[in-house]
Structure 1
């Protein structure tokens, strides 16, 4: 067999392998697509998309390996070519497995409602781990000693971890915040010792909240994870708004309660952000005080920040209504003694009075 025939057969084998690869890819795509249509899960689509393109590469590499049998190549050179082909096959399989794993993590992340930040980190770590293993296998197949390399990488990783200790603490705390989901973007929260506001960003190193004064507070995730967090949007947005009212001891509690309840029910249909379901109610609590009868109106706000307008409007309505009804509103009076010429003169003797 002359050189021309050798290269002709080699090219023919290569082309046949490529055609077979294309045919198998199309066949598998058709069969797997039909199979995927019969299933409700989208997980099989992930596998199909990850495998359909590498099939051609695998058959092409197999064709190159087979074509080498028809070409006269020195043994020393052939060994390097075979190792190169094997390395490419391992590399291709590694990336395929990494793609499948990444797709599976993303699929279950969406299905379980896990945030994109968490699934993104999981995808990155899974890909990095699989590709690292693939590279180690390739180096071992190429005859490269990997033990010193692994030891060097371990020492380097330890040095980096020590240098970035605070940063890594914040990163892992951020992972906890994103995975456990005590807060979400858009929630109104209060962080002990830091402040309160709307969550506008949850990063790997820090979390940002925007205050009602339109300032941004940046909280390191480690501090956030160690702090007591009050989330005013969990389990849902509506919150109870207590409104305290005091009247004179001269008033009838039953009459006062009816007046307050009537005004609260009217307000629940007129004040923006105030809910009429559940309806507001009145309680004679905390009850008799030092100089007044104390009532509390309990109403519901659509969300935490609506309570400020509700309190503003409710106090105006209630005080106007109490005056219209002739209800006395008490206020404390201090007794002050002024010393003049060795004598003390009593300015006021009443302990409490009314309007």
Structure 2
């Protein structure tokens, strides 16, 4: 091999490499400008990964062109080209897998935790992408993938039958995650009676932390089949209702005014939704009292207990000061009649 046979491939490689450096600089400048304008939500680490992938692919392309321009024997060139293509496919596969997970972890609308989505489908997406990349590499190396696909089909059916419950929970978890009707941090109550804050939604189950500090683990499939009350939707504020009764001799207009004043004082508490205007409505002429309902609003489900606590204390104290009577059932005993009968 003379000097000319070596020089030509090296010159071609060097020329393409220099051209690639200039093109890389222009592309990175355009990409950074694009992300600054907010049209793409790429993070810096994603830009770095894509940059490294493009740089490596360009080097492999330069090597491929240099080999084509060289006088290396044909069989060796074909072998090296197959290796270059296999490495390129593997590199693109890894990059696509990382990008897919990054987009899955992306928080739509900002502020909504995306850990549940990543735990449910991140690994599934990686496995699917790696499997496709592996099959393409095998096909490129001249290995027939038809028997492999047939074996995977039969094996996949067997696995699906064996893992029927697991797969049903997996897809139920995907449904819960994407429907966004039950989210991490929500306070829910399911049909069976269990209630609490949603701690985690994973590939198999949903974890609910009760107010007693216990953990309830519900299979995703059962959760999707249950009637669920979500106290955090459409927003976390919750109406708090209290039933009260006053004596029939009470001045109902005065009762309404005093009760409204107490309710407004309670709504100044940190647990209350301060923008809400409390109100009351008479609803029943009961056996012992005139009954009415007072409606307040708490910031979230658990805050209702403090609201009720404060309202009952303050209303009882204010009614005593105002002389308003809260009646209770009284049983009259005719002592003389019982004595004569005895």
TM over 0.5: yes
Structure 1 residues 31 and 335: alpha-carbon distance in aligned structure 2, compared to 1, 3 A threshold? closer
Cα deviation, 1:120-168, whole Å, max 9, x if unaligned, reads: 7556555544443333232222221110000111122222222222122
Q: Does residue 108 of structure 2 align to residue 110 of structure 1?
A: yes
Q: Does 1:331 align with 2:328?
A: yes
1:352: which partner in 2? none
Could you tell me how far 1:73 is from its partner in structure 2? Answer: 4.8
Alignment of 1:289 onto 2:275 = no
Partner Cα distance (2:191, 2:209) in 1: 15
Pick aligned residue for 1:273 from 271, 274, 281: 271
Q: CA separation of 1:22/1:328 partners in 2, compared to 1, >3 Å: closer, same or farther?
A: closer
Equivalence for 2:145: 146
- 1:56-106, CA deviations, whole angstroms, 9 ceiling, x for partnerless residues? 333433343344457665544443223222323333444455556566666
Give the TM-score normalised by structure 2: 0.81
Matches within 5 A, 1:171-320: 171-269=170-268, 271-285=269-283, 287-320=284-317
Equivalent pair of 1:18/1:56 in contact (CA under 8 Å) = no
Gap change, CA 1:105 and 1:207, over 3 Å in 2: closer
Counterpart-to-counterpart distance in 1, 2:328 and 2:313: 17
| Structure 1: runs of 5 or more not aligned | 338-344, 348-355
Gaps of 5+ in 2: none
Deviation, 1:12, is: 4.7
* Contact 2:267-2:274 at 8 Å conserved across structures: yes
Change (3 A) 1:45 1:252: closer
Task: Tell me how far apart the structure 2 counterparts of residues 320 and 27 of structure 1 sit (CA, whole Å).
Answer: 76
1:321 — aligned with what?
318
Bigger Rg, which one: 1
More strand by percentage? 1
Residues 174, 203 of structure 1: 8 Å contact kept = yes
Secondary structure of 1:79's match? helix
How far off is 1:49 after superposition? 5.0
Q: 1:275 to 1:195 in 2, by over 3 A?
A: same
Deviation at 1:191, TM superposition (A): 1.9
Distance 1:128 1:159 in 2: 18
1:22-46, CA deviations, whole angstroms, 9 ceiling, x for partnerless residues? 3432343235445x26844025889
How far residue 221 of structure 1 moved from its aligned partner, in angstroms, is 1.6
State the distance in 2 between where 1:94 and 1:175 align: 24
Distance 1:113 1:255, change over 3 A: closer
Q: Distance in 1 between matches of 2:240 and 2:112?
A: 32
Preserved CA contact (<8 Å) 1:114 1:179 = no
8 Å Cα contact 1:194/1:219 also seen in 2: no
**1:197/1:210 contact within 8 Å kept:** yes
Per-residue CA distance 1:239-277 (angstroms, 9 max, x = gap): 2222212233333433433333333334434x5523454
Quote the Cα distance in structure 1 between the aligned partners of 2:36 and 2:121.
29
